[in-house]
């Protein structure tokens, strides 16, 4: 490793790989260029009429950023053990009021984190609604995280719309 200090702050680099590992600027702000972090959306990839009574993987095909290349095929794979902050927003359109409930679930190798919504509380179908999940999840190296949606019954008409996103980063 190479440690450089100057009037602009402190930088630690890997001499073999030639890449910066840590930077602390003059204000004290720290950046870790290889810290696992990602944001993915399903821009222009609505999943229309998804199956009723089945766990359906949400397709997040557009990576806004993937700082360490740990996100692929709508799944995040933890490169190291630690605590990871995840945030999910699934916008659902044309929700059927005849369905008893909908859920969005963050599925990790260790446990699931679920937001469930009682959709038959309204007298008619809901045009659009967002379900969110946020959590601090413990993950081991090579554990995975993905997002699923579920409609328990009713008419197959609901769509996951392109205003949905999935993000995460290593906290500690």
Please write the tens of the pLDDT for every residue from 80-99: 999 999 999 999 999 998 89
pLDDT digits 0-9 by tens, 90-144: 999 999 988 999 999 999 999 999 999 888 777 778 788 899 999 999 999 999 9
Token pair of 90 as six digits: 């699934």
Integer Cα distance of 30 and 22 in angstroms:
7
Which CA distances in Å does 7 have to 26, 76, 102? 7, 38, 55
Cβ contact 36:79 at 8 Å: yes
E runs forming strands in 47-121: 56-57, 62-66, 71-72, 75-77, 82-95, 102-108, 112-117
With 80 as the cut, is the pLDDT of residue 51 above it?
yes
**For strand 2-6 and strand 9-14, is the pairing parallel, antiparallel, or unpaired?**
antiparallel
């Amino acid at each position: 490793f190479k440690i450089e200090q100057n009037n602009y702050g402190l930088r630690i680099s890997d001499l073999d790989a030639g890449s910066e590992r840590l930077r602390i600027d003059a204000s004290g702000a720290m950046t870790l260029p290889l810290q696992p972090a990602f944001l993915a959306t399903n821009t222009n990839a609505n999943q229309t009429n998804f199956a009723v009574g089945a766990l359906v993987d949400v397709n997040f095909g557009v990576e806004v950023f993937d700082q360490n290349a740990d996100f692929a095929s709508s799944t995040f794979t933890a490169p190291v053990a630690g605590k990871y902050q995840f945030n999910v927003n699934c916008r659902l359109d044309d929700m059927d009021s005849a369905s008893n409930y909908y859920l969005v679930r963050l599925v990790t190798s260790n446990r699931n984190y679920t937001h469930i919504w009682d959709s038959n509380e309204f007298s008619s179908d809901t045009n659009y609604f967002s379900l969110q999940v946020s959590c601090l999840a413990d993950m081991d190296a090579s554990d995975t995280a993905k997002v699923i949606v579920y409609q328990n019954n009713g008419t197959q008409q609901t769509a996951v719309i392109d205003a949905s996103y999935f993000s995460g980063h290593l906290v500690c």
